[in-house]
Amino acid sequence: MTYSDGTRVVHAGLPEAEAGDPFLPGPVFAAPYHLDPAAGQVGDNGYGRPDNPTRRRLESAIGELEGGRTLTFASGQAAITALLLSVLRTGDTVALPSDGYFTVRSFAESTLRDLGVQSIVVPTAGPYPDFAGVRLVLLETPANPGLDVCDIREVSALAHAAGALVAVDNTTATPLGQNPLALGADLVVASGTKALTGHSDVLLGYVSTNDTELLGKVETWRKHTGAVPGAFDAWLAHRSIATLDLRLARQSQNAAAVAALLSGREDVTGVRWPGLSSDPSYAVASTQMRRIPGVVSFDLGDAERVARFLTAAELVFAATSFGGVHTTADRRAQWGDDTSPGFVRLSCGIEDTVDLLADLTAALDQA
């Protein structure tokens, strides 16, 4: 039977019911496990770095939602590092989003360049170059922080025609927002730190794919480097996924109301949310995505006004992550991101919409 999203996230990755056992067993913290002293057989568990039952349940849950076999990592950056270093070799070229997560471009300009890997940057919304000679095309859609969207199916077809692999950073959308593997991508990579787990208390990353060879390369890299999440983080993440559908529904509802509010103010410019009919990404997002995330971006002109706005706001926390249950805002330029001084990425939480709108209005008026 095919279930809806709310049902899927509640039951994803749960073990078979056993009388007296919890729905989701607690974390297994073992480093080594008992071995068969005669046969030396280890079964599913031998040593905690490559083998952990708590981590496997989480990977099963995410895999069910993404539609591909999944490996989890200690952070989103650990996951994308594993992907890049598993796939790319000296002499290869990788295409990266020019408006995506800036740490990835920094990694390419330092570590990858030192390893003899060339990188080119491409705007998420295009235009796209000829991908001939490119080994990997990495997309991030919606892009963080500018929220441009690209047509995954179209770009995947262009890349595959040129012989390139395609990976999609699905952090902002989450697997309930879109499924890149079903749209033609070869791999999905994401930070589970953000909306997937949604409580701002877990660092997590993952890679998903249906390509057995690619999965094997990434798994070998993880096994050799040890970039695994801890058992408690894996358990917290799995527990948190159960409420993903509910959290995203409120966050998207809040984002729609916030985007409409900001668009109507003359003292706010550059409002972006792919769910707005006036947004440049609306046409693609409305057909490609099953739901629009709770992240809105806009510009308040300068850093001083952003500071006044955040000081005046009572429900908006200044924080540099996004996707949590609390509404947060981040002036990205302070981290060296290629944005204007007054650019703000606002991540809507699950507060009551009317309260959030009232607080934002008062804070903007004071700022």
Residue located via tokens 């697997």: 175
| Model confidence at 42: pLDDT above 80 | no
Residue 129 lies in domain: 5-241
| Model confidence at 43: pLDDT above 80 | no
Q: Which of 218, 241, 264 is the last residue of a domain?
A: 241
Residues 11, 137, single domain; the answer is yes
pLDDT-above-70 percentage for the chain? 99
Beta bridge partners of residue 246, listed in sequence order: none
Q: What is the pLDDT of residues 329-350, one digit of tens each?
A: 999 888 878 899 999 999 999 9
What average pLDDT score do residues 175-197 get?
A: 98
Residues 115, 221, single domain; the answer is yes
Q: Which of 212, 241, 270 is the last residue of a domain?
A: 241
CA–CA separation, 109 vs 208, rounded Å? 25
| Model confidence at 243: pLDDT above 80 | yes
Q: Is the peptide bond before 341 cis (omega within 30 degrees of 0)?
A: no
Q: Which of 42-51, 113-122, 244-253 has the lowest mean pLDDT?
A: 42-51
CATH number reported for the structural domain that contains residue 319 in this entry: 3.90.1150.10
| Model confidence at 41: pLDDT above 70 | no
CATH number reported for the structural domain that contains residue 214 in this entry: 3.40.640.10
Evaluate the CA torsion angle 197, 172, 213, 105 in order and state its sign: negative
Q: What is the pLDDT of residues 83-114, one digit of tens each?
A: 999 999 999 999 999 999 999 999 999 999 99
Contact 297, 145 (CB under 8 A): yes
Alpha-carbon distance values, 137 to 42, 45, 333 (Å): 38, 35, 26
What average pLDDT score do residues 109-124 get?
A: 98
CA–CA separation, 162 vs 85, rounded Å? 21
Residues 259, 231, single domain; the answer is no
Q: Which of 241, 262, 292 is the last residue of a domain?
A: 241
Residues 224, 133, single domain; the answer is yes
Residues 15, 99, single domain; the answer is yes
Residues 82, 174, single domain; the answer is yes
Residues 190, 290, single domain; the answer is no
Residues 206, 261, single domain; the answer is no
Name the average pLDDT for the chain.
96
Q: Residue 259 phi/psi, 5° resolution? A: -60, -40
What's the pTM? 0.96
| Model confidence at 166: pLDDT above 70 | yes
Residues 237, 250, single domain; the answer is no
pLDDT, residue 338, reads 81
Residues 178, 256, single domain; the answer is no
Residues 137, 72, single domain; the answer is yes
User: What is the number of structural domains in the chain?
Assistant: 2
**How many other C-beta atoms lie within 10 A of the C-beta of residue 256?**
18
Q: What is the pLDDT of residues 273-328, one digit of tens each?
A: 999 999 999 999 999 999 999 999 999 999 999 999 999 999 999 999 999 999 99
What average pLDDT score do residues 233-262 get?
A: 98
| Model confidence at 246: pLDDT above 80 | yes
What average pLDDT score do residues 235-249 get?
A: 98
| Model confidence at 173: pLDDT above 90 | yes
Residues 16, 131, single domain; the answer is yes
